[in-house]
Structure 1
Amino acid sequence: MSDAFDSREAIACLIPHAGRMCLWQRVVEWNDTRIRLEAFDHVAPDHPLRHRGRLHAVHLAEYGAQAMAVHGGLRALRAGGGARPGLLVALRGVSLMRDRIDDLDGALDGEAEVLVESATGAQYAFVIRHAGEVVAEGRAAVIHPQG
């Protein structure tokens, strides 16, 4: 399934991250269990996660978590509602294949896939690639607070 979520502004309507903190710029494709997205501005000198002039690869975990959030937002929108707030509670098995990502020309390609979900949360696997090569992968868990 594909939709017209091909801008940061459109994607930001689905998640709690606004402005430049919405890290993905395009939804390539998605279905009930998986999403694929692209980001282009990891090389920008004013990227909000840069520190001392560099964008460190550890921030790819945030890209993975936001991929999960976008997927949840799209699923909620399709069901006629809005995404429930979620809290990232765990990262597991995260592997980073490089130290930094601001020196990578071209798009980052991210995928997230639901592994387990319930009414109170979900666990996803994520992988981030650049030019077909894996630069990060791992799992992340989110809970949906009750109340």
Structure 2
Amino acid sequence: MSLALDQLTADAICALLPHAGGVCQIEAVSVCDENRIVCTTEAHRRPDNPLRRDERLSVHAGIEIAGQAMALHMALLAAESAEKHQPRQGMITRLNGVSWTVDRLDTIEGPLTVTAECQTMAGQVARYGFALMRAETCLLKGTASVFLADQD
């Protein structure tokens, strides 16, 4: 991918996602290729994170964070494509094999690594494997099916 990932600021990332302000959870991208994206975030530590409920950030909010990594992957691929087409809007429609090792993300010190790997993309459906890690510890993992809207 020819995109300079080190120049992709948090604001530029949010501009690529259908999220705004504090809802945008991805802060940096370290790897992005045709099949995979690796991102980092410390948004889980923000007291004003809008995904918090009752002053806690459940590990299940990690599914939204992973979904944003998937959306960012598809947006970056669209930006790099020869046709320069607009990224497609998507919605997670199915989760499989989701497992977690913690109950909360807000108590995890330091940055999280978010990996999303495209297992298949055909027509209006993409399937991604995802994982949220802190250092070598897997906090949340699973697979997600994403329904993609028709391109206009």
TM-score (norm 1): 0.94
CA-to-aligned-CA distance 1:18-44 (integer Å, 9 cap, x gap)? 111111000111100000000012111
Equivalent position of 1:12 in the other structure: 14
Q: Superposed, which structure 2 residues align to 1:1-147 within 5 Å?
A: 1=1, 2-4=4-6, 6-79=8-81, 80-146=84-150
TM-score (norm 2): 0.91
Alignment length, in residue pairs? 147
CA-to-aligned-CA distance 1:28-76 (integer Å, 9 cap, x gap)? 1110000000001211111111111111101111111111100000000
CA-to-aligned-CA distance 1:108-141 (integer Å, 9 cap, x gap)? 0010001111121200000110122100000011
Q: Distance in 1 between matches of 2:79 and 2:53?
A: 35
Q: Distance in 2 between matches of 1:57 and 1:87?
A: 20
Q: Unaligned 5+ residue runs, structure 2?
A: none
RMSD, matched Cα: 1.4
